[in-house]
Structure 1
């Protein structure tokens, strides 16, 4: 589970259930997405949109994820349990 809280008040603002346990720490992208790596057998990278904390997408990999996601420019990197560095190209969120 991921817990979000307001640092000014210390109050919970969100509780989001995950498909598997959290690996390490989340990464922020474009100021509104949080990327959450999980350590289940197949691995999942879950993207949550702030401030609603809705799941915007979920990527299933074929290996458990072992590191905090790292974003450099438009590339996202995360280490898999099998030793591979997995990477995806990120697009900026579409504006309504």
Structure 2
């Protein structure tokens, strides 16, 4: 990955392993939420999934930019997955 520049003007580097791990975690998160919405229809489990994610990244969430990045990604992912799951339930 190419280095990027932070808002402080300092170069940031993105570790490929961390980036790929984040992509895998995101995919697993979306699949778990999809399965919960379609099969269990128990939205309380979604809160558990999101709490586990927050707990796993607790230290990293102290950085404001990273916390905003994770929050936006998580909410977009959650919205997309719930809409798809509800559409599947409605049409089938």
Larger fraction in strand: 1
Give the TM-score normalised by the residue count of structure 2.
Answer: 0.26
Larger fraction in helix: 2
Give the TM-score normalised by the residue count of structure 1.
Answer: 0.26
